[in-house]
Amino acid sequence: MKIFTIKNKHFFAFLMVAFTCSSILAQNDKKKDLKALYELQKEDKEAAFSNLIVPDKFKNESMVMLYEKLKLIQANIKIPNTNYYYDYSVYSRTRIKLNDINAIETYSDFTFEDGDEFEVKIVKPNGKSLVVDLKDAVDANNVKTSNKFVNLFLNDKRRKIAIKNLEIGDIIDYSSLSNYSGNNLNSNYFTNVEGMPIVYLKNEFKINKENTVLVFKSFNGAKDLTKKVAGKQVLYSFESEMIDKRKSEIMSNENQSDPYYRLGIYFNTNYYYPFHDKPKNSEIKSKLTEDDIKTYVYNTVKKAKSPSVHYMEFLKSVDVYNLSDEDYIKKYYIFCREQAYLCDLAFNFKQQNYGLNILTQFMTHLDKRKIEYEFLAMTSKENIEIKNLINTNELSWGIKFQINGKDHYLTMFNSVSQLDDISENFENTEAYAFTNINKGISKMGIKTIVIPKTSHDDNAYSITINAEYKNGLDSLELNILTVATGYQRSDSRFNLINNKEYYKEYYKFLESKKAISKNTKLYFFTDANYYGINRTFFDKEEERIQKDFYAELEKNKQENLENDARSEYYVLKYEKFEPISDGRKESNSTTSWKEQFIIGNTLQPAGKSYVLEIGRVLGKLALINDNEDRTDRKKPFFIGFDKTFTLNVKIKMPEGKTPVGIENLNISESNNVGSIVSMAKLENGYIVWTIVKKVNSFKHEAKDWNNYLKITDLGTQLNTSKIILN
């Protein structure tokens, strides 16, 4: 299931996503006067609201958010279509001080949401307040706002107004009131924002006392909630002051470094209620218990549908009765992987819980073969530890089973995945494992396990380069073999040659030939009838079109790789491309291919000698040099998985030439982040050069950033290295 992580600053985006995943009913589009908005403005009596002065700590900032308040008010329950929903009002008030010309330019064009009550004021340094007339605002639905700090879009109706005569020291004071209906909602809320610090921040949630559960947990230094019971409602408040602006740093993870809280509002009378017990009125839950997850998993799996047509089609493809358990499961995995991608890519068809349906079908097959298994509930390591989970939407599913004493995992489907491949997001994380999941909730067992971790050797990217000068010293011919395993198969360069986009492109190809239309679909989609897709057979005509497409696909692969090579080398002539393995076969999960092309500009005359710019042979293919931000590091940085890059270079020396300075290529660096080792020698008229770079996952503290740069700096040195040919 998908996690909805909100990366921009505030609750506006929070609600947009939260209600999207909670079955929006309607938003009130009717124009109103501002009476209700003015009433809420009167409640902005905090001392910080009257403050017009920027604290010394933030005096050099271009913009400073002096005040921000957000208030969610829950109204009475209503019951349309037998599901329970609530009405909400969401009020916000923000004051931003403009300290320089850049800030004025940012807010001169103000884009806002149309549809509910909204007001913009300009507060002058003398305290005088001027209301911005919005009658001249223009439609901005297709206009990208230049204001990246206040994208207050709760719906798709946008308007833009030019604010004239802004001056340094002015304060933009905007407030809004929006009304919604929805059921359960949840999201993440970051308390800091890019571009400006915040002097005072306050969030309030006025929630009904009965039938409503608020889930809250703060992280990375964010404050906790305070609670005040008032009659039939409970007022939860969150306050924070003097919040530094968010600094964007490459390879960082906001969930692991920036202050934020996770919030959920659930109604225990609702069909979507995710908890095992019904908490007491006004109780704040800070995590999901094992019983909560157990109940949710049981009900989720129970509702999943196993597409039995899979099995009938599978029987046509293999002799299942003469297969070992392991071969049977592997072949069925490949079969289902193709189904998933036919569904998702060829038809752009979003079957809800399709992955879960496949897992359910797998469990049926395992039961038939009397293979014991555990159903897995996992969550991404980039997100949150499973013990801190407060939202069932953050769970993903998998299966663990054992054949002949060997553990197997089924956790992912992508274009090149195989049985036992585990997403890098889940490896080395704690997960819940459930037994007896189909025997009733009372018989279900639950325990915590650790998902296996891949190694450097599992995720290898290897390039072998054989180089020889042609036509004297004018050009260097490169013969390159590229091989990738594990997660390295998902590198962007491999997307140029693997079949990830095959079905999608094939579908477009057939449309261009008028072989299919919106009303006639591809016959090879074996589950077409199951998903209500009209199945049409093209017989020999289809075979002819498919053959033509394969030829076109191979041509496109070479063109893509040639263009990619030209972006990295001074290519004089791209001679050939030879695919070896796309990594999708059950018998071979390695992706590999060969290339041959001729490059120039590697030798520069130096008197009677030549300078060989040997680093140019590596190109960007080396994946060693990383152009990273070198500023003072503040946040931890993250490397998704252990990985290895290997280059084996062999350059035949021109007749009569002797290299000088090869020993300068023998360098190395090793530390807790990783290592890089370069070794070169002259052997039988060849320069033999080997480079191995390894990087370690997962989380590295900011103090180790220089260790990472030491490795990448050596990569830069190697890419620019030179030797002399006498």
Average pLDDT of the chain, as a whole number? 78
Alpha-carbon span 224 to 203, nearest angstrom: 11
| Torsion angles phi and psi, residue 589, rounded to 5 | -100, 10
d(CA 514, CA 347) in angstroms, rounded, equals: 16
Q: Which helix (H) or strand (E) holds 693?
A: strand 686-695
For residues 441 and 295, is the Cβ–Cβ distance under 8 A?
yes
Distance between CA atoms of 278 and 265, rounded to whole angstroms? 13
Q: How confident is the model at residue 150 (pLDDT cuts 50, 70, 90)?
A: very low
Yes or no: say if 719 and 569 are a contact pair by the CB < 8 Å rule.
Answer: no
> Does residue 532 or residue 174 have the better pLDDT?
174
Asked if residue 698 lies in contact with residue 640, where contact means CB atoms within 8 angstroms, the answer is: yes
Q: Which residue has the higher pLDDT, 85 or 645?
A: 645
Q: What pLDDT is stored for residue 86 in this prediction?
A: 67
Summarize the confidence of residues 268-289 as an average pLDDT: 70
**Whole-number pLDDT of residue 514:** 62
Structure tokens at 724: 């002399």
**Quick one: pLDDT band at residue 665, thresholds 50, 70, 90?**
very high
Contact of 111 with 140, CB cutoff 8 Å: yes
pLDDT at 164 (0 to 100)? 86
Q: Which of the given ranges, 121-130, 157-166, 231-240, 628-637, has the highest pLDDT on average?
A: 121-130
Rounded to whole angstroms, how far apart are CA atoms 389 and 379?
8
Q: Cα 651 to the chain's mean position, in Å? A: 40
Q: Which of 91-105, 185-199, 339-353, 372-386 has the lowest mean pLDDT?
A: 339-353
Whole-number pLDDT of residue 412? 82
Question: What pLDDT sits at residue 28?
Answer: 37
- Per-residue pLDDT reduced to its tens digit, 486-523: 988 876 566 665 544 455 555 566 666 665 555 544 44
622 or 686, greater pLDDT:
686
Question: What would the pLDDT profile of 638-664 be if each residue is shown by its tens digit?
Answer: 999 999 999 999 999 988 889 999 999
What per-residue confidence (pLDDT) applies to 148? 34
Name the one residue in this structure whose structure tokens are 């020889």: 468
CB 356, CB 377: distance < 8 Å: no
532 contacts: CB under 8 Å, gap ≥ 6 = none
In this prediction, residue 4 has a pLDDT band, given cuts at 50, 70 and 90, of very low
Q: Tell me: pLDDT of 288 over 50.
A: yes
- The whole-number average pLDDT for the span 372-389 is 88
* 625 has a pLDDT exceeding 50: no
**Which pLDDT band, with edges at 50, 70 and 90, does 10 fall under?**
very low
How far is Cα 158 from Cα 153, in angstroms, rounded to an integer? Answer: 7
Q: What is the pLDDT of residue 306?
A: 57
Nearest to 425 by CA among 468, 463, 395: 395
Q: Which residues pair with 689 in a beta bridge?
A: 649, 680
Measure the CA dihedral 307/312/315/321, to 10°.
80
Per-residue model confidence (pLDDT) at position 716: 85
The answer to whether 489 and 495 have CB atoms below 8 angstroms apart is no
Residue with more model confidence, 415 or 147 = 415
The mean per-residue pLDDT over the stretch 529-544 comes to 43
Structure letter (DSSP) for residue 342: I
pLDDT at position 623: 44
Q: What is residue 344's DSSP assignment?
A: I
pLDDT at 5: 25
What span, in angstroms and rounded, lies between the C-alpha atoms of 116 and 177?
Answer: 6
The rounded percent of the chain whose pLDDT value lies above 70 is 74
Q: What is the pTM of this model?
A: 0.79
More confident position, 369 or 535: 369
CB–CB of 416/591 below 8 Å?
A: yes
